[in-house]
Structure 1
Amino acid sequence: MEVTAIKDLMSQFDASSLREFSYKNGSEDLVFSKNESSALATIESASVAAPAVSATPTIAVAAAEEVAPVAAQATGQAEGEEVASPLVGVAYLSPGPDKSAFVSVGDSVKKGQTLMIIEAMKVMNEIPAPHDGMVTEILVANEDVVEFGQGLVRIK
């Protein structure tokens, strides 16, 4: 597959609402994903016959899209322990689109209280507060894709 064709597919993929795209043709595999901080496309070609040498060239094209942090901190980091995401998925701050948020900055929380939901593979996983305290900062926005270990909220 030509590099210009790959670039054209990448721009169409970026403009679409698809989260993942894969294409296979013989010995070529092409995969795009928006589930990470940058999209990655990989092509694997068939082995090139050369005297006693076998090569599988790989072309990697990365879309340079950096996601700006949602919570801008004017005076530095807020106080409290950071609650990290236990899985990769989409964070939801409320139980439904027309419902109020589970917690807001300044709210008191009890151990086990739901802070947010992370959807992974169509399963809604409640994220509980690890201890009693007060929410000092919410580090993600509604419907953000979060990574394993990424900070979600701070509790003091």
Structure 2
Amino acid sequence: MSIQISEIKDLLSQFDASSLREFSYATSKFSLSFSKNNGGQATVAAPVEKVVAPQVQVSETINLSEVSVQAEMPVAIAEGDVVKSPLVGVAYLKPAPDKSDFIAVGETVKKGQTLLIIEAMKVMNEIPAPHDGVITEILVSPESMVEYGEELVRIK
């Protein structure tokens, strides 16, 4: 299956008009990810080593200021225990929009300290630190949907 530039532009337009914060689609040949969580700009990600340039005539051009293409690079995994989501909902890293984040990478936390909040069915559920430690990685984006068992934070 090959995807046309016009199809990507159409998906991007539909995503931009929707209330979705993130959208991903992947096949064995490519992956496509849109996110409004990074300053409101959508991105398209495609693994460079898997993409084969299609040999088609393209009659449309894409404004590169609207779409940025990034190659996904392998990421080193930080050390520590993973705190997983106990429920499905929206993850908030701040207690309120005008407040600072609950935690930051490199910060020391105490057992029971709130790491983030997950909103489920209009109820704000605080996610506590399971033990004392240092935050080595924050694995979720602000206001992103999280699934049951999804990795949220890593504590060493």
TM-score when normalising by structure 2: 0.57
Supply the distance in 2 between the matched residues of 1:105 and 1:130 (Cα, whole angstroms).
16
Which residue of structure 1 aligns with residue 151 of structure 2?
151
Q: Is 1:122 aligned to residue 118 of structure 2?
A: no
Deviation, structure 1 residue 155: 0.2
CA shift, 1:141, in A, is: 1.2
**Cα gap change, 1:122 to 1:73, in 2 (>3 Å):** farther
Does the CA-based 8 Å contact 2:82-2:151 persist in structure 1? yes
Task: Report the AA paired with residue 146 of structure 2.
Answer: V
Number of residue-to-residue matches in the alignment: 107
- Higher share of residues assigned strand: 1
Runs (5+) with no aligned partner, structure 2: 1-9, 26-30, 38-71
Q: Does 1:140 align with 2:144?
A: no
Residues 36, 149 of structure 1: CA spacing in aligned structure 2 closer, same or farther, 3 A cutoff?
A: farther
TM superposition shift of 1:18? 4.0
- The alpha-carbon distance between structure 1 residues 74 and 36, as it changes in their structure 2 partners (threshold 3 A), is closer
RMSD of equivalent CA atoms: 3.2
Q: Deviations over 1:120-142 (max 9, x none)?
A: 11111000001111100000111
**Cα displacement (A) at 1:17:** 3.6
> In the alignment, residue 133 of structure 1 is paired with which amino acid?
G
Report percent identity of matched pairs: 58
Structure 1: segments with no counterpart, 5+ residues: 1-9, 20-33, 39-63
Structure 1's consecutive aligned runs of 4 or more residues displaced over 4 angstroms after TM superposition are 10-13, 34-38, 72-75
d(CA) in 2 for partners of 1:78, 1:35: 24
Letter in 2 for 1:141: S
Per the alignment, residue 131 of structure 2 pairs with 131
Structure of larger gyration radius: 1
Contact kept? 2:22, 2:33, Cα under 8 Å: no
Q: Distance in 2 between matches of 1:141 and 1:114?
A: 16
Aligned equivalent of 1:111: 111
Q: Is the 8 A contact 2:140 2:153 kept in 1?
A: yes
Residues 23 and 33 of structure 2 are in contact (CA less than 8 Å); yes or no, is this contact kept in structure 1?
A: no
